[in-house]
Structure 1
Amino acid sequence: MSEVRRRLAGAERLVVKVGSSALTTAGSGLDVERLDSLVDAVVGRVRRGTQIVLVSSGAIGAGLAPLSISARPRDLATQQAAASVGQLALAHAYAESFGRYALTVGQVLLTSDDVVRRAHYRNAQRTFSRLLTLGAVPVVNENDTVATEEIRFGDNDRLASLVAHLIGAEGLILLSDVDALYDGDPRAGGTRRIAEVRSESDLAGLAVGRSSSGLGTGGMMSKVAAARTAAAAGIPALIASAGEAPCALGDAAVGTAFTHAATRMSARRFWLGYAAGSHGRLHLDDGAVAAVVGRRRSLLAAGVTGVDGDFQAGDVVDLVDPSQAVVARGVVAYDVTELPDLIGRSTRDLPPDQRREVVHADDLAPLPH
């Protein structure tokens, strides 16, 4: 067994994410039998002494059948209505299922603000910590009933990776209707399962698509992105089928494992790199990219070739290389209106009150390509 799988098998705190397709069907709504099977696997791991936070999709899917809706709606108002009905059904089902083992569940509904805004982030940390200390199993979902952009563009895979870092998890397990990452569409045949992703080169040339069920917002692309986010932050990750949950939560000998970075990313750098919203872009030349990413230096005006967006000093911005790839994120020290007169100029040629870094090294988070 590989080191990353041993770490997942021995983790004392895990985030487990389950997708809509693993819990619901378009015609019948919530599948209680599938949910019970998932809970059985989670409880098995809890009884081994592991604290688990369960990130569960399925609220919208669970609300379709009670509202006589045959397929996932496209308009926001109907999605929110379905979430309103389904969230209640989903929470009740989890309470009943965990109740078979005398375990208490706590519902935690989050929006992106709760992990993007640092004050909210710390409050969420305290809530999770207390729930776990009291022996409860937190069940997390996006607050789809009131969310707007989150429903259209967000997904619970990303939420799960953010929660994993927020609670100090030692592993992230992503469960869905797909059993692993493949080098092509597994439905077409002749494809190879990728057992382990050790570096970005293992993902080169892969085409990953969306969910085939039509019920979820994510797909393999969002799962790979979430696993990469966790791994880059020092958290091992696993993509597996919900049907193999007992093994995934046991010896982790199934699915695709993602090797984690050697050191865990600090809370501030993780927030900068993956949680905070970006307000614009700074375009860098090759020398600046080498300094910022390779040598972890501050970004100076001389290395900036252009700016996009509408930001003020103190906002988070993306730093992009000449090929337009985002290589880092950071807190900018200037308003967008100030930078055009400064870009490309040496620090010594600037007025004394503007001889500061565009983005200081302490406020930078380099990102993997």
Structure 2
Amino acid sequence: MNSDIRKKLLNGAKRIVVKVGTKLLVNAQGHLDQVRMTQLVEELRWLVESGYETILVSSGAIVTGLEALGLSKRPKELPKLQAAAAIGQGLLMHLYQETFSKHGVQIAQVLLTAQDLEERRRHLNAKNTFEALLAKKVVPIVNENDTVAVDEIKFGDNDQLSALVANLVHADLLIILTDQEGFLKNGDVVRTIFEINEEIETWAHRANDWKGIGGMQSKLEAARMMMRSGESMMIANGFTKDILKMIFRGEEVGTFFISKNVKMSGKKRWIAHFVRPKGGLVLDEGAIEAVCQKRRSLLLPGILDIRGIFKKRDAVSLFDEKRYEVGRGEVAYSSEELKGMIEEKGKKNSKKAPSEVIHRDHLVIL
């Protein structure tokens, strides 16, 4: 049954994001493995020639830069890491260009920071750029702009970056290639996951060999982002020969995260994944039921408290009375306006309350 669902989803997929981590690009000595890169490019070329719109999210810039600088150890100082990234990104792209061009495939470099995708206008500009590239059958190669990104504005790791890019372009499938067979439980690969529950989280914590910034927890977070948006994700072993062909033939490889949710609109994805909430609203039980279960707009009478200072059209968090975040939305009023409205609501001769504080089309349940 699950294999039938898998094949149906794969048959309907058109736009694919493939994420490749540093482990897949370096050899045992920690140097960039050009043979492995060639094999990867050949598989991606097959995707393009098979008619799939393909985006590659690739790590490896810092490692490549460190090698060029003759450094055997990764420095701790941020400026040195950023310098390595600046050198390595150019070298990495040159290698990709050489390898892809042998197959007649054009590539493009896209470097992003979290700020690029948080601000709505820049977000849409980035999306339009991807659309233009894909329309010309160009393969965008994406990485975080490590040269300018700092801890406060970093994506966290390229697992999450790949999920954000997949959400930005409304990709049908995100494939994270790693050095593991998939999500493991008691040493066995779980082939299909429909929900990331407490049991899945527990097993992710037990995966002690998945250490570092790109471990299983970050991959689960990427899967959670995709599934929340109504999209699918796969974790598979990038060292397996022809792994992408095996995936699209419907073979039982890797772990497939399959969403039960309806696909989100672009505006809702932006609110759910890209924007940092500027404040919050505490809701009563009636409002929680209305927005979470009945999928209605948020009305003024359901607001118990206002947290923080925000402007009209800012994104805010929605909390229940225990201060648990249940959703996010784009507000139609500033915090100052809402405070005045709540005060007015308490007066005997107050005017009719505004119909909607957050419209349901601009509201996301977490």
Length-normalised TM-score, structure 1: 0.86
Correspondent of 2:13 among 1, 11, 14:
11
| CA shift in 2, pair 1:223/1:196, >3 Å | same
Does structure 2 retain, via aligned residues, the 8 Å contact 1:23–1:34? yes
Partner of 1:226: 222
Distance 1:26 1:87 in 2: 21
Cα deviation digits, residues 87-131 of structure 1 (max 9, x gap) = 112101111221221212111111123322221222222222222
Q: Secondary structure at the match of 2:46?
A: helix
- Unpaired segments of 5 or more residues in structure 2? none
- Which amino acid in structure 1 is aligned with residue 83 of structure 2? A
Correspondent of 1:241 among 237, 248, 263:
237
- Which amino acid in structure 2 is aligned with residue 300 of structure 1? L
Cα deviation digits, residues 7-50 of structure 1 (max 9, x gap) = 23552221111112221369533222222221122122222221
Shift of 1:260: 2.4
| CA shift in 2, pair 1:270/1:68, >3 Å | same
Name the Cα RMSD after superposition: 2.9
Partner of 1:359: 358
Alignment of 1:20-39 (within 5 A): 20-24=22-26, 27-39=29-41
- Determine whether 1:319 maps to 2:318: yes
Q: Secondary structure at the match of 1:140?
A: strand
Does structure 1 retain, via aligned residues, the 8 Å contact 2:195–2:259? no
Distance 2:39 2:152 in 1: 29
- Which amino acid in structure 1 is aligned with residue 290 of structure 2? A
| CA shift in 2, pair 1:130/1:335, >3 Å | closer
Distance 2:300 2:51 in 1: 52
| CA shift in 2, pair 1:17/1:341, >3 Å | same
Greater displacement, 102-111 / 125-134: 125-134
Shift of 1:365: 1.3
- Determine whether 1:165 maps to 2:167: yes
Does structure 2 retain, via aligned residues, the 8 Å contact 1:348–1:355? no
| CA shift in 2, pair 1:317/1:170, >3 Å | same
Does structure 2 retain, via aligned residues, the 8 Å contact 1:244–1:254? no
Partner of 2:265: 266
Aligned residues: 360
Greater displacement, 277-286 / 105-114: 277-286
Shift of 1:54: 0.5
Partner of 2:182: 180
Shift of 1:199: 2.5
Distance 2:338 2:73 in 1: 49
Q: Secondary structure at the match of 1:329?
A: strand
| CA shift in 2, pair 1:332/1:348, >3 Å | farther
- Unpaired segments of 5 or more residues in structure 1? 184-189
Greater displacement, 102-111 / 3-12: 3-12
Distance 1:339 1:10 in 2: 45
Alignment of 1:137-152 (within 5 A): 137-149=139-151
Partner of 2:282: 283
| CA shift in 2, pair 1:117/1:222, >3 Å | same
Alignment of 1:86-101 (within 5 A): 86-101=88-103
Length-normalised TM-score, structure 2: 0.86
| CA shift in 2, pair 1:356/1:11, >3 Å | closer
Does structure 2 retain, via aligned residues, the 8 Å contact 1:111–1:150? no
Shift of 1:203: 5.1
Q: Secondary structure at the match of 1:103?
A: coil
- Which amino acid in structure 2 is aligned with residue 266 of structure 1? S
Distance 1:267 1:152 in 2: 22
